[in-house]
A and B are shown apart, each in its own frame.
Chain A
Amino acid sequence: MGVRIGVLALQGDVSEHVFAFRRALELLGLENRSEVKAFRDNGSICQLDAIAIPGGESTTICRLIDRRGMRESLVSFDGALFLTCAGLVIAAREVEDAGELVKPLGIMDIGVKRNAFGRQRESFEADLEINGLAEPFHAIFIRAPVIIASGKDVRPIAHVPEGIVGVEQGIHLAFAFHPELSGDLRLHLRFLKGLMGIEWPSAFTDK
């Protein structure tokens, strides 16, 4: 059994996401049966099991989604989503103070505030408790958003004093921080586990 994962490659830290998923699949011994690739048009979306929307500038990525006519196929995609930072903003139901610049996809039933911690000077690293992980996760927050409202199907799994920074909605996972940058693959492994509906030995998801 393998999986096909596509990283939306319009702008942002695309190669970091591709690299992290390839390594996670290697840890599971699935690299030969699976595929991780960057994509930037509708052509291959229906063949994917999961889509990752990376970090970057949400205004830029949103604009390009519409310019490329990808909104429909992303909204109707029925696989799993792995969303980080700008990806979380783009998939949200509502974005505070975004005006016309960010028209979110409305896939995740969450309300989001962009740049919730301030400018780059206030970007930070922190060890974060995450529901379901035995040890704290070293999280990288870069001009990060925060989740300020969530619907009933959304389960918050990580918090900071400013609000929610990680959620689960069915098989989707969304984070305000960047699991693809820290070298810790436990959240990728958890995502793959949910995606494939398989119980992995806990050694994979706990350090």
Chain B
Amino acid sequence: MYNEMELEKLRFGTELLKRGFASMQKGGVIMDVVNAEQALIAEEAGAVAVMALERVPADIRKAGGVARMADPARVIEIMDAVSIPVMAKVRIGHFTEAQILETIGVDMIDESEVLTPADEQFHIDKKQFRIPFVCGARDLGEALRRIDEGAAMIRTKGEAGTGNVVEAVRHMRAIMGAIRSLQGMSDQELFDRAREIEAPAGLVIECARLGRLPVVNFSAGGIATPADAAMMMQLGADGVFVGSGIFLSSNPERMAAAIVEAVHNYDNPKVLADVSQNLGEPMKGIDIHTLKESEVLQFRGR
């Protein structure tokens, strides 16, 4: 028994391992961090994972120019600091940035519209990688195209770096509503719907049967308060990503812990009332309608 398990019998990077990793994140908060110190604050607050970045999305907006994968040294510093999983972002379609992050041992890659896209036609062929990917989506068709490419986890795109939850709400309602509308359809109608939303028919049928996406579905893009996070959970999210909302607030430790509490008590307004008190200033937000079309990140990739 002891040494009978030969190395060649082990299997790595399977679909089950990738989706299984995502399942372990359920009910959790994944926080954007830019250095080891912030990563430790996130871990201490109860984050299930951290997203290692050069800048949080709101600062990427301010900086302008081309936003790229973070310096690997920065990501390694964060990986060395915490015991929870570390994720990092690559540009849409930039498979070489993904190869680099896989080599340094990142636990999950976010192929993200927050960075400047590297390919306007193709997303990364995620099945070629041993580590799992999370991708953003605005509606069911987009979610299923990403899953078809190998994404093990979906998140709403929302509108990152705005501190405004309205787009995350729009995208979560669109995905959940579209799945509800599949229930009770005949096969013929499901095939028709698949063509209409430009998604693989097999995945559309699977969603109809499961009554949900076949992978974990988080919310992201504009979540700035415990109430925002709890609302996304009530709308059906399996967990939340919080980007700029924590470390651009006036008291990151308290905000981080309060958002973790809110996600676990999302359906208990009494607890939400408690954890929402005296958190200091949340990040300053942006009204979506004041953004120029070139500043809207969610239209990157489709």
On whether A121 and B130 interact (CB within 8 A), knowing A60-B47, A161-B2, the answer reads yes
Q: How far does the alpha carbon of A13 sit from the alpha carbon of B216 in the complex, in Å? A: 10
Q: Which residues of the partner chain B approach A12 to less than 8 Å between Cβ atoms?
A: 23-24, 26-27
CB-contact partner of B16 in A118, A119, A140, A143, under 8 A: A140
- Chain B contact-residue range equals 35 or more
On whether A124 and B11 interact (CB within 8 A), knowing A11-B28, A57-B24, the answer reads yes
Q: Which residues of the partner chain A approach B85 to less than 8 Å between Cβ atoms?
A: 57, 119-120, 143
CB-contact partner of A123 in B1, B21, B26, B43, under 8 A: B21
Q: Which residues of the partner chain B approach A125 to less than 8 Å between Cβ atoms?
A: 10-11, 14, 16-17
* A59 in contact with B11 (CB, 8 Å): no
Q: Does B260 contact A (CB under 8 A)?
A: yes
Q: How far does the alpha carbon of A98 sit from the alpha carbon of B84 in the complex, in Å? A: 11
CB-contact partner of B27 in A9, A59, A115, A159, under 8 A: A9
Q: How far does the alpha carbon of A58 sit from the alpha carbon of B16 in the complex, in Å? A: 21
* A119 in contact with B105 (CB, 8 Å): yes
* A140 in contact with B17 (CB, 8 Å): yes
Q: Does A67 contact B (CB under 8 A)?
A: yes
Q: How far does the alpha carbon of A1 sit from the alpha carbon of B130 in the complex, in Å? A: 46
Q: Does A75 contact B (CB under 8 A)?
A: no
In the complex, residue of chain B having the shortest beta-carbon distance to the beta carbon of A9 = B27
Listed residue (A55, A97, A120) with the most chain B CB atoms within 10 angstroms of its CB: A120
Listed residue (B13, B21, B24) with the most chain A CB atoms within 10 angstroms of its CB: B24
Q: How far does the alpha carbon of A40 sit from the alpha carbon of B263 in the complex, in Å? A: 13
On whether A57 and B28 interact (CB within 8 A), knowing A114-B83, A123-B17, A140-B20, the answer reads yes
* A126 in contact with B3 (CB, 8 Å): no
* B131 in contact with A120 (CB, 8 Å): yes
* B27 in contact with A11 (CB, 8 Å): yes
Q: Does B264 contact A (CB under 8 A)?
A: yes
* A159 in contact with B17 (CB, 8 Å): no
- Chain A contact-residue range equals 35 or more
B48-94: which residues lie under 8 A (CB-CB) from chain A? 48-49, 79, 83-85
In the complex, residue of chain B having the shortest beta-carbon distance to the beta carbon of A122 = B12
Q: How far does the alpha carbon of A12 sit from the alpha carbon of B77 in the complex, in Å? A: 26
Q: How far does the alpha carbon of A181 sit from the alpha carbon of B216 in the complex, in Å? A: 14
Q: Which residues of the partner chain A approach B3 to less than 8 Å between Cβ atoms?
A: 161
A107-163: which residues lie under 8 A (CB-CB) from chain B? 114-115, 118-129, 140, 142-143, 159-161
Q: Does B9 contact A (CB under 8 A)?
A: yes
Q: Does A16 contact B (CB under 8 A)?
A: yes
The 7 closest A-B pairs by CB, nearest first: A120-B107, A11-B27, A13-B23, A57-B48, A125-B11, A129-B1, A124-B10
Other than A86-B24, A120-B85, A122-B12, give 6 A-B pairs with Cβ distance below 8 A: A11-B264, A12-B24, A13-B20, A57-B85, A60-B48, A63-B260
Subset of 14 A-B contacts with CB under 8 Å? A11-B48, A15-B26, A57-B28, A60-B48, A60-B84, A64-B264, A67-B261, A119-B85, A120-B21, A121-B13, A121-B130, A123-B21, A125-B10, A126-B9
Interface positions of B (Cβ within 8 A of A): 1-5, 9-14, 16-17, 20-21, 23-28, 43-44, 46-49, 79, 83-85, 102, 105-108, 130-132, 260-261, 264
